[in-house]
Amino acid sequence: MNLSRLERLLGYQFKDQRLLVQALTHRSHSATHNERFEFLGDSILNFTVAAILFHRLQREDEGDLSRIRASLVKQATLADIAHRLELPQFLRLGEGELKSGGFRRPSILADALEAIFAAVYLDSDVPSVQAVIEGLYTPLLDSVDFNTLGKDAKTLLQEVLQGRKFALPVYNVVATSGAAHDQQFEVECFIAELDMRSQASGSSRRAAEQAAARKMLDALEKVLPKGSAKKRVRKVAQLTLPVAVEQEKK
């Protein structure tokens, strides 16, 4: 396996490339795998991102910093970075995982990325791994809106409406279907001042409410007058990840 391209994308050249190989090895491949590396890398990542945010965002309080960090280190974000590194082609997976498309699975990609951070640390030192993480995160940090990052659709909708002195939206369950263990909820989101309604379904009431709020945010972008409120809705639509309705737990 030629790992020189991955090293170039990481911006780090290993002295002991065996560490990188282990970081890329899933437990389905062999007994020498990356799970212990993942444990260490997760802690290194959280500390490094926390330090970056602490110095970058000096006016944010603890709650906002925690919200932003959680969004930056969550599985979906790590999987996106892993794709930028072309990580799927370098993973070492067992035959079963290969056949089931494990190289595309976000959880496997995120775990491998955290394991790589541990490998860099074990191969060098704390400043070196922090430099790697900062290099990977800088494009993301330079492009996001920290005011909306990590906030769910209901929170963002509430902020948009409060900014225009509107009352909060009302959510009502309008229908349920399916067996008790596999129900689907249909929820309506209603804004009285605008006489606007949106409906969405989900595997829980909470998931359906989030999906309905997302639809309402999209609709508001089309009807609100031009100005700061409309720009805010546009930012919300661009920077908030879609609600994973089917995966939301009851």
Positions marked catalytic: 42, 114
**Cα–Cα distance between 240 and 67 in angstroms, integer?**
13
CA 199 to chain centre: 25
Element (H, E) at 196: strand 196-202
Q: Is 218 annotated as a binding residue?
A: no
Q: What angle do CA 102, 106, 110 make, to 5 degrees?
A: 110
Q: Is 111 annotated as a binding residue?
A: yes
Cβ neighbours around 96 below 10 Å, total: 9
Q: Is 114 annotated as a binding residue?
A: yes
Element (H, E) at 176: strand 170-177
Contact status, residue 152 vs residue 210, Cβ threshold 8 Å: yes
**Cα–Cα distance between 52 and 31 in angstroms, integer?**
35
Which residues are part of a known binding site for Mg(2+)? 38, 111, 114
Which residues are part of a known binding site? 38, 111, 114
